[in-house]
Amino acid sequence: MNNVRAFGAFWWNFIVGDDWRVALGVCVGLGIAGFLADRGIAAWWVLPVTVALVLTISLRRATRGVS
Amino acid sequence: MSHDLFLFLTTFLASGVEAVEALTIVLALGVVRGWRAPLIGVGIAALVLGVIVAVLGPALRLLPIDTLRLFVGALLLIFGLQWLRKAILRASGYTALHDEGAAFAAEREQASETRRAAPTKMDWYSFTVAFKGVLLEGLEVVFIVVTFGATEGRIPLAAAAALAAIALVVVVGMAVRAPLERVPENTIKFAVGLLLTSFGVFWGGEGAGVSWPGSDLAILAILAFLALLSFAFVRQLRRQRLAGLPVGASA
């Protein structure tokens, strides 16, 4: 069981990394882009905006209290 | 054509920096404890990585193209943003720059302190550290080769770019017998983070059904946007680090 957990932890760390909010933000952004595109609404701007928001939040958390 | 160029460039640069890091580990082991065991570790790790590419690449190609792009786009976005985030934190001074000289010294010290096997026996410490180091650094290369290659249907080109970078690093590393401290690793990692994230945005968007204005040329606009955004973050973070404030506090 410990090996399975370690294997899962390795891949989680490999793909998701230090901040799981980045992965969550990407999934939400892709969902919104798909939702809009499916209804014929221009959605090309969604992912660049998602990246900007996700980076802002993640960097802000990473640098909070660090100088 | 431009996709092929970006594919080659991204894979070459990413493989190059990972190879530099793996070389540092193997060099430190080889110099201190001898070359046989680390080289066996490198060989077996390379074999495992080759098998992963050979199995995973064709398997991914079985997915419908839109599903593949959505899947690969999401992975590249998450993975690329990790690289970009770290690169921004390094460039702004919040995280220490990666120093190959310091990594070499630490690895060498560790290798010197660990008990050695008899000369006739296998040095399992060297084998394990080299195998693990090459496998872990190589997995990132494999990830990029497989995702880029499968999405564009160009796994051989992506693999060739990776092998060219690794060969270059190994040849130079063996010639100088020292860690490649002059390779601008932090700058290269920044560039790779930008490229991975740009392709993640582009393919993820296509997979989700987005129509990009300008079609394939949109990738250049995405890259330019992300580069400007990242440099703006670096500038702001540098200023705020000096002022002792968290990012966004003055916005």
Domain ranges in chain B? 2-243
Inside any domain, residue A4: no
Give the pTM.
Answer: 0.83
Inside any domain, residue A53: yes
Residue A26 predicted with pLDDT over 80: yes
Cβ count within 10 A of residue B245: 15
How buried is A8 (Cβ within 10 angstroms: 0-12 exposed, 13-18 middle, 19+ buried)?
Answer: exposed
Residue with tokens 């793909």: A15
Write out the H or E segment, with its range, that includes residue A21. Answer: helix A20-38
Q: Which residues contact A38 (CB under 8 A, 6 or more apart)?
A: B209
| CA-based nearest distance A9→chain B, Å | 14
- Residues B198 and B206: their CA atoms lie apart, in Å, by 12
Work out the average pLDDT over B32-37: 87
pLDDT confidence of residue A12? 85
Given an 8 Å threshold on Cβ–Cβ distance, is B88 in contact with A26? no
pLDDT confidence of residue B248? 52
**Which chain A residues are Cβ-neighbours of B241 within 8 angstroms?**
63, 66-67
- Residue A56: which domain range? 17-63
Inside any domain, residue A8: no
Write out the H or E segment, with its range, that includes residue B30. Answer: helix B2-33
| CA-based nearest distance B239→chain A, Å | 11
Work out the average pLDDT over B104-132: 81
Q: Taking CA atoms, what residue in B is nearest to A24? A: B78
On average, the pLDDT of chain B sits at 86
Q: With pLDDT > 90 as the criterion, what percentage of chain B qualifies?
A: 38
| CA-based nearest distance A3→chain B, Å | 16
pLDDT confidence of residue B210? 94
| CA-based nearest distance B45→chain A, Å | 17
Given an 8 Å threshold on Cβ–Cβ distance, is A44 in contact with B240? no
Inside any domain, residue A40: yes
Touching check for A5 and chain B: CB below 8 Å?
A: no
Inside any domain, residue A32: yes
Q: Taking CA atoms, what residue in A is nearest to B212? A: A44
Count up the domains in chain A and report the number.
1
Euclidean distance between the first and final Cα of chain B, in Å? 41
pLDDT band at B1 (very low <50, low <70, confident <90, very high): low
Q: DSSP letter at B153? A: T
Given an 8 Å threshold on Cβ–Cβ distance, is A37 in contact with B208? yes
Touching check for B196 and chain A: CB below 8 Å?
A: no
Q: With pLDDT > 70 as the criterion, what percentage of chain B qualifies?
A: 94
Touching check for B201 and chain A: CB below 8 Å?
A: yes
Please check whether residue B234 is in contact with residue B92, taking contact to mean a CB–CB distance below 8 angstroms: yes
pLDDT confidence of residue B250? 47
Please check whether residue B27 is in contact with residue B177, taking contact to mean a CB–CB distance below 8 angstroms: yes
pLDDT by residue (tens digit) across B139-168? 988 988 888 888 888 888 999 999 999 999
pLDDT confidence of residue B251? 40
Inside any domain, residue A2: no
Q: The tokens of B190 are what?
A: 């920044």
- Residues B168 and A34: their CA atoms lie apart, in Å, by 42
Touching check for A9 and chain B: CB below 8 Å?
A: no
Touching check for B80 and chain A: CB below 8 Å?
A: no
- Residues B80 and B110: their CA atoms lie apart, in Å, by 32
Given an 8 Å threshold on Cβ–Cβ distance, is A19 in contact with B94? no
Given an 8 Å threshold on Cβ–Cβ distance, is B78 in contact with A23? yes
Given an 8 Å threshold on Cβ–Cβ distance, is B70 in contact with A22? no
Nearest Cα to Cα of residue B82 among B3, B190, B165, B9: B190
Inside any domain, residue A7: no
- Residues B59 and B73: their CA atoms lie apart, in Å, by 17
Q: The tokens of B140 are what?
A: 């990132």
What ipTM score was computed for the predicted complex, to two decimals?
0.90
Inside any domain, residue A11: no
